[in-house]
Amino acid sequence: MLRSRRRRRMAPVRAPRELAAVAVPAEELSEPDAILDVQNLRTTFRTDAGVVHAVDDVSLTVRRGRTTCIVGESGSGKSATARSIIQVVDNPGLVEGGRILFRADPDGPVHDLAALSATGDGIRSVRGGQIGLVFQEPMSALSPVHTIGNQIAEVLQLHTDLDPKAIRERVIAELEAVGIPRAAERVDSYTFQLSGGMRQRAMIAMALIARPALLIADEPTTALDVTTQAQILDLLAELKRELSMTMVFITHDLGVVAEIADDVVVMRHGKVLETGPVDQIFHDPQHLYTRELLASLPQREEAVTGAPSDEVPERVEVSDAVDTTVRHDDAAPSETPLLSIEGLRMEFESTSGTMFSRRTTSRIVAVNDVSLQIARGTTLGLVGESGCGKTTLGRCVMRAYRPTAGALHYDDGENATDLATLTTAQLRPYRRLVRMVFQDPYGSLNPRMTVREVIGEPLRVAGIAQGSELDDRVESMLERVGLRRDMASRYPHAFSGGERQRIGIARALITEPRLVVADEAVSALDVSVRTQILELLAELQDELGLTYLFISHDLSVVRKICDRVAVMYYGNLVEEGPAAAVFDDPQHGYTQALLSAVPVSDPRLRGTRPRVVYRPEEAA
């Protein structure tokens, strides 16, 4: 097919003259062992809406052989800084000032990358060859219509003289090196045929195949599950040691920083607030903002001494049956639970895979015989990796799906019924009692409706209130979620992510529900905003006596706010119990694996915990 079409070979890019023109005396580096020295960098986005100084006079030094983490919340300019280094800032961003001194070899010449033309051969010979880049979302960062082998091979065509056959062999070897099994077959697969973790491994292989001196990883694990994140972090640490390279790692997650950083740069609003070795940042932070960030971290144990080690944690394999549920307390609850899920099962028919064989429909069991109880006024955390069925379970509770089997006994003292069997018409009164808060504060608000319409709609649809009474209730609800009354007539685009999530919460609570299903409600928010929203949810729970089903992949959040925790794995409930019991004394192998993958938020504890790897056992 088209993929086997022969292409004219690209000539490797070399630009000694252009690089020589931007050479700088080595004395101008602020530290002699620096591989990268960013001096007074300014990157500006000029848009119709105005000028944004994404990177505002940033200076930072990356020392050879170390891992430098740039930490900051969204909009802090951390990504723009990283991209400015090799001049791949998104349009209309421009590097407007400053110097980027880069020294590929320890004793080699120093070049000012900022002085190179953004499209010239000079910078092109550095990109990919001497500085590799790994992005956040491997699905969108790789082309969907080219095989991964094709995309990785390009780097070698550009930066080596190897012939096509040798290139292919190197690509396969590199895929093996990053831990992709059956690399010789996978080299010809497309991104959508690989799992998220495999895609990110392929991306890392692409960034490293030309053996760059510096690897820039821009949130490489943010889009991944916690267990996959642990694997990728271990892989990066291993590769860094084997290839003796330097890494710049950009993240918003301080846990990850504690796990891998040697040096830390804290950024906010395009400026560097604090820099220092990881131990100092975590144990003796100077800037107030750094302290705030650290305070948002869960359960930091004090009084640990000792320097951070470079050890990759040891691996322990465990296995347990998937279809057994570990329950920490068998005692029957004293009162009737608000929601009692019994033997819930949800199957999807899937016209599987290809267009070539439409007729093979397979059945996917998304939720397999799950039984759970949620007591009134409590919070049940539902955790698990993507694809484990936790969202499906939440949607069954909402009756967005009709469960294949099982019961959903709802009893708030006034109304009691089995939600699982009701028809759409019968469900209507319960629609206002069971409400949902969504994950994406951007996608879940209609941009063409004002906040008043968005929040008031459930009331209007249910025929509960209208006219000035409706406006009154909407405005008092706005105040309750920490917004101002006069914001009601604005449109969603005028709000930040955190404010939008408050609007989403107001929309859920306007009908005075009893049960709120929060599906990853804080996952898309920055750390500091996340803390505020969690506090708001807790306040509202106390005031209104709400019951939460809190679905999240973020274990630290669940631990902080949930009374009980349920762990799901491929549709099965594997462990359930009080939060403290599950987190401190996990019984099921999968729960142990999941917990061991969470980064420890103290660099001094690095490498002290074994990494548990779970292998499901054949069902007995």
Partner 1 sequence: MLRFTIHRILHVIPTLIAISIISFFIIQLPPGDFLTTQIASLEAQGESLDPAQLEALRVRYGIGEPFWVQYWKWISNIVLHGDFGLSFQYQRPVGGLISERLGLTVLLGLTTLVLTWAIALPAGVISAIRQHSAADYTISVLGFVALAVPNFLAALALAYIGFRFFGQSVGGLFSPEYVNAPWSLDRVLDLFGHLWIPVVVIALAGTAGIIRTTRANMLDELHKPYVTTARAKGLPEGRIIRKYPLRIALNPFVSTAGWNIPQIFDGEVIVATVLALGTTGPLLLGALRSQDMYLAGGIILIVAVLTVVGTFISDLLLAAVDPRVRFGKA
Residues that bind partner 1 (CB under 8 A): 1-2, 10, 13, 83, 86, 88, 90-91, 119, 123-129, 132-133, 135-137, 140-147, 151, 154-155, 158-159, 190, 192-193, 203, 206, 353-358
Q: How far is the CB of 209 from partner 1 (least distance, A)?
A: 10
**∠ at Cα 605 (303, 611), nearest 5°?**
145
What stretches of 314-431 show up as alpha helix (H) in DSSP?
Answer: 390-398, 424-431
> What tokens appear for 594 in the block?
């999941």
Which of 2/303 has CB closer to partner 1?
2
Q: How far is the CB of 353 from partner 1 (least distance, A)?
A: 6
Q: How far is the CB of 71 from partner 1 (least distance, A)?
A: 21
Evaluated on CA atoms 132, 137, 141, 146, the torsion sign reads positive
Evaluated on CA atoms 553, 555, 561, 567, the torsion sign reads positive
> What tokens appear for 400 in the block?
């967005």
Q: In whole angstroms, what separates CA 163 from the centre of its chain?
A: 38
Which of 182/615 has CB closer to partner 1?
182
Give the span between the Cα atoms of 111 and 25, in whole angstroms: 9
SS3 179: coil
3 close to 187: Cβ distance less than 8 angstroms: no
Which of 202/346 has CB closer to partner 1?
202
Q: How far is the CB of 210 from partner 1 (least distance, A)?
A: 9
Query: Do the bridges between strand 110-112 and strand 131-134 make them parallel or antiparallel, or are there none, so unpaired?
Result: unpaired
What is the crossing angle of helices 164-177 and 148-159, to 10°?
120
Q: How far is the CB of 203 from partner 1 (least distance, A)?
A: 8
Which of 83/268 has CB closer to partner 1?
83
Which of 158/597 has CB closer to partner 1?
158
Which of 159/606 has CB closer to partner 1?
159
Q: How far is the CB of 357 from partner 1 (least distance, A)?
A: 6
Which of 122/492 has CB closer to partner 1?
122
Q: How far is the CB of 5 from partner 1 (least distance, A)?
A: 11
176 close to 207: Cβ distance less than 8 angstroms: no
Q: How far is the CB of 52 from partner 1 (least distance, A)?
A: 16
Q: How far is the CB of 13 from partner 1 (least distance, A)?
A: 6
Give the span between the Cα atoms of 188 and 569, in whole angstroms: 30
Which of 359/493 has CB closer to partner 1?
359
Please give the C-alpha separations between residue 36 and each of 29, 39, 96, 103, 267, in angstroms, as whole numbers: 8, 10, 18, 6, 17
Ordered strands of the 214-218 beta sheet: 131-134, 214-218, 246-251, 67-71, 263-268, 271-277
Which of 99/159 has CB closer to partner 1?
159
Q: How far is the CB of 486 from partner 1 (least distance, A)?
A: 35
Tell me which DSSP letter residue 507 carries: H
What is the crossing angle of helices 196-208 and 226-242, to 10°?
20
Which of 203/383 has CB closer to partner 1?
203
